[in-house]
Amino acid sequence: MCGIIAAATDRSVGKLLIKGLYKMEYRGYDSAGIAMHVDDQVAHLRTLGKVKLLEERMKLEKPKGKIGIAHTRWATHGEPSELNAHPHQSNDRVFIVHNGIIENYLSLKEELTKEGYAFSSKTDSELIAHLLDRNLKTYNSLLEAVQGLKDRLDGAYAIAALDQNEPDNLVLVRNRSPLVIGLGKNENFAASDPLALAELTNKFLIMEDGDVAKVAPDSVEVFDAKNQLVNREQLTIDIKAEAASKGDFKHYMEKEIFEQPQAVLNTLDGRIGGEDVLENIFGEGSSELLAKVKRVQVVACGTSLHAGRVAANWFSAIAGLPTQMDYASEYRYKNPYIDEDTLLVTISQSGETADTLAALRYANDKDYLGSLAICNVPTSSLARESDFLLLTNAGPEIGVASTKAFTTQLTALMLLTLSLAKATGKNPRLRGRIIKALRFLPEKISEALALKPEILEIAPEIANKNNALFLGRGIFYPIAKEGALKLKEISYIHAEAYPAGELKHGPLALIDGEMPVIAIAPEHELAEKLVSNLEEVKARGGALYVFGNAEERLGLTSGKYINMPDCDFLLTPILYSIPLQILSYEVALLRGTDIDQPRNLAKSVTVE
Ligand code: G6P
Residue-wise pLDDT for 229-252, tens only, equals 999 989 998 877 667 778 889 999
Q: Considering the domain boundaries, does residue 538 fall inside one?
A: yes
- Whether residue 182 sits in one domain with residue 47: yes
Q: How confident is the model at residue 68 (pLDDT cuts 50, 70, 90)?
A: very high
Residues 21 and 143 in one domain: yes
Q: Can 150 be counted among the known catalytic residues?
A: no
Among 256, 327, 353, residue to substitute to test ligand 1 (most atoms within 8 Å of Cβ): 353
How far is 456 from 453, CA to CA, in rounded Å? Answer: 5
Answer yes or no: is 368 within a domain.
yes
Residues 179 and 284 in one domain: no
User: Does residue 413 share a domain with residue 517?
Assistant: no
Q: Same domain for 493 and 580? A: yes
- pLDDT at residue number 88: 98
Query: Active site includes 603?
Result: yes
Centroid of ligand 1 to alpha carbon of 497 (angstroms): 18
Residues 560 and 533 in one domain: yes
Residue 474 three-state SS: helix
Last residue of a domain, one of 244, 275, 292: 244
Q: Is the CB of 303 under 6 A from ligand 1?
A: yes
Give the percent of the chain with pLDDT over 90. 80
Where does a domain end: 420, 448, 476?
448
Residue 524: pLDDT above 80?
no
Q: In the chain, how many domains are there?
A: 3
Residue 392 beta carbon below 6 angstroms from any ligand 1 atom: no
pLDDT in the model for residue 242: 66
Mean pLDDT for all residues in the chain: 93
Give pLDDT, residue 557.
63
The angle, 0 to 180 degrees and rounded to 10, between the axes of the packed helices 452-463 and 572-591 is 50
Q: How far is the CA of 517 from the centre of ligand 1 (A)?
A: 25
In the reported structure, the alpha carbon of residue 17 is separated from the centroid of ligand 1 by a whole-number distance in angstroms of: 25
Q: Which of 28-42, 245-259, 576-590 has the highest mean pLDDT?
A: 576-590
Contact 488, 453 (CB under 8 A): no
Instruction: Write out the residue range of the structural domain in which residue 526 sits.
Output: 452-591
Is the CB–ligand 1 distance for residue 402 below 6 Å?
Answer: yes
Q: Whose CA is nearest to atom 2 of ligand 1?
A: 603
Sheet bearing 67-73, strands edge to edge: 41-48, 31-38, 67-73, 3-8, 188-191, 180-183, 203-206, 234-236
Residue 75, pLDDT above cutoff 90: no
Q: Whose CA is nearest to atom 5 of ligand 1?
A: 302
Ligand 1 contact, 381 CB (< 6 A): no
We report the CATH number of the domain holding residue 126 as 3.60.20.10
| Residue 464 and residue 422 share a domain | no
pLDDT band at 522 (very low <50, low <70, confident <90, very high): confident
The atom number, within ligand 1, closest to the CA of 405 reads: 16
**Dist. CA 400 → ligand 1 center (Å):** 8
Same domain, 105 and 155: yes
Q: Do 401 and 307 sit in the same domain of this protein?
A: yes
Average pLDDT over residues 387-393: 97
Query: Three-state SS for 135?
Result: helix
pLDDT score at 413: 98
Is 386 close to ligand 1, i.e. is its CB under 6 Å away?
no
Q: How many CA atoms lie within 13 A of 135 on its CB side?
A: 22
Residues contacting 164, CB < 8 A, separation 6+: 37, 40, 41, 42, 92, 93, 94, 95
Query: For the whole model, what pTM was predicted?
Result: 0.86
Distance 586 CA to ligand 1 centre (A): 21
Q: How far apart are CA 39 and CA 286, in angstroms?
A: 56
Residues 464 and 563 in one domain: yes
58 assigned to some structural domain? yes
Nearest-atom index, ligand 1, CA of 402: 9
Side-chain half-sphere CA neighbours of 8 within 13 A? 25
**Residues 287 and 200 reside in one and the same domain:** no
With respect to residue 350, please indicate whether it lies within any of the assigned structural domains.
yes
**Pocket lining: 178 vs ligand 1, CB cutoff 6 Å:** no
Same domain for 457 and 358? no
The catalytic residue among 66, 214, 486, 603 is 603
Tell me what pLDDT residue 65 has.
95
Is the C-beta atom of 301 inside 6 A of ligand 1? yes
Flag whether pLDDT at 478 surpasses 90: yes
